[in-house]
Copies of this chain bind each other. A is one copy, B any other.
Amino acid sequence: MRESADNRLLLHLVTDRSLSLGRSLVEVVAEAVAGGVTCVQLREKTCSTREFLGEALALKALLQPLGLPLIINDRVDIALAVGADGVHLGQSDMPISHARRLLGPDYLIGISAESVEDAIAAEQQGADYIGISPVFSTPTKTDTASALGLEGVRQIRELVRVPLVGIGGINQANAHQVLAAGADGVAVVSAIMAAESPQLAAEAIRVSWGNRPGGRRRF
């Protein structure tokens, strides 16, 4: 993983256009970034490749000047086409071995782990970070395993050394608990995507953890 990537994983926005209340994706992301999002994962499961590419190019143009990473969910080809910073792969996406061969060493590869075993395997296979999914139960994704809870985060933290990002049902009320349990960052979908003000929603999460445990990082 590249230098100082930890900081960049702190508040991860995972996109879902279906929640954006009719606003364009780039509009929501621009607001969220103004509110303190440190990393954006483009996850769009239902659009065409050309549309996906268009969204990725728009986000790249927004994020690159700000030095914020763009991660592409699932689609290694889109990541390569736009020169993104990484990909995020679920357990039914391309295996990390194939993805690393196509992407080379410089792209971040995040892996979703739905269990302690997944997390250990992902680290062994060279994941740059692990998404613990879901921490809490969530209405956004209906195909996920049962919630791992804060105890799951703690267990995984004890067993793996790569950065951990919690995802699933995380909002301003519980984000600090996920960090306190050992995660290096949290990933948020609906709490920002569906907020009337994505900027205020992001700020509220940033404020909520105050002087959080593990505050050795620059935020």
Residues of A within 8 A of B (CB): 48-51, 53, 74-77, 80-81, 91-95, 98, 101-102
Contacts and interface: CB of A to CB of B under 8 A. Distances in A.
B94 A49 contact: yes
A37 B191 CA distance: 52
Contact of A49 (B50, B51, B53, B74): B74
Nearest to A51: B92
* Closest A-B pairs by Cβ, 4 of them: A77-B77, A48-B92, A76-B77, A81-B98
A94 B53 contact: yes
A122 to B, nearest CB: 14
- In the assembly, how many copies of this chain are there? 2
Nearest to A98: B81
A62 B81 CA distance: 30
A49 B102 contact: no
Nearest to A89: B49
16 contacts: A48-B93, A49-B74, A49-B75, A49-B93, A49-B94, A50-B92, A50-B94, A50-B95, A51-B92, A53-B94, A53-B98, A76-B80, A76-B81, A77-B77, A77-B102, A80-B102
A110 B78 CA distance: 19
A110 to B, nearest CB: 15
Nearest to A97: B81
A91 B199 CA distance: 36
Contacts of A48: 92-93
A49 B53 CA distance: 17
B53 A81 contact: no
Contact of A77 (B50, B51, B80, B92): B80
A94 B80 CA distance: 12
Nearest to A92: B48
A23 to B, nearest CB: 23
Nearest to A87: B77
A152 to B, nearest CB: 23
Contact of A75 (B77, B81, B91): B77
Given A76-B81, A81-B102, 11 more contacts: A48-B93, A49-B74, A49-B92, A50-B92, A53-B94, A53-B98, A75-B77, A76-B77, A76-B80, A77-B102, A81-B101
